[in-house]
A = this chain, B = another copy of it.
Amino acid sequence: MPVLCQACEARHGGICGALDPGQLQQLGRQTARREVAAGTQLVAAGVPADGYANILGGVVKLIKLMPDGRQQIVGLQFAPDFLGRPFADSSDVSAEAASTVRLCVFSRSALERMVAQAPALEHRLHQQALRELDDAREWMITLGRKSAPERVASFLLLLAAHIDPLVPGYSTTFDITLKRADIADFLGLTIETVSRNLSALRKAGIISIERRRCITINDTAALEVAAGR
């Protein structure tokens, strides 16, 4: 087994878990680790992607843009998610690093070769697509029916649930990697409304905020109630 893969966080729940040691070694020869800075464009909407990647660490924003410049973040991805749109030349969502992101990248042809050999790999990709679909639909009720305070609380719970793939359930202290403008684009609100509602949660004692980035959840149950369950 490749030394790289032995330590690869992507295996824990990632798509590579579907491969046997021989296949893993074969794929390992065609992958490269990369670390990109916050703000790096990873996938451009409408542009054929040169490859795919597993996210080893950090947060990736999936962004949709309207012609007049309005934008909506349609998803966040965390380790060990698979990044890219299988079986399509291009997608109409862009992906951008929201924090420093560590990736295990591989070419489209390498993935397609592995899928042909290991049907279990396509099954994993299928499972992830279904999970992302569930997440997207869950977020649709947030965008369509929740109030601003509920949306902000829902966002904090989402982040707490995913920011550290090693913590089951919710992390209680973590860095918000996103800027207020990103949060606003994810929640369908303005930065001012996001800021006001974070302040309200802080004043209610439900969360603490240090240096604007570091969040501590003091009362998870209260936050869940604030999120509308």
Asked if A85 is at the interface of the complex by the 8 Å CB criterion, the answer is: yes
Partner of A187, one of B62, B72, B138, B144: B144
Asked if A67 is at the interface of the complex by the 8 Å CB criterion, the answer is: yes
Given A93-B137, A228-B66: A145 touches B87 (CB 8 Å cut-off): no
B137 touches A64 (CB 8 A): yes
Most buried by B among A64, A93, A140: A140
- Neighbouring B residues of A185 by C-beta, 8 Å: 144
A145 touches B70 (CB 8 A): yes
Partner of A133, one of B136, B141, B143, B228: B136
Binds B, one of A10-18, A36-44, A118-126: A118-126
Bound Cα distance from A154 to B202, whole angstroms: 38
18 contacts between A and B (CB under 8 A): A62-B137, A64-B138, A64-B140, A66-B228, A66-B229, A67-B229, A72-B140, A72-B145, A87-B130, A92-B138, A93-B137, A122-B126, A125-B126, A126-B129, A133-B136, A136-B136, A136-B137, A143-B144
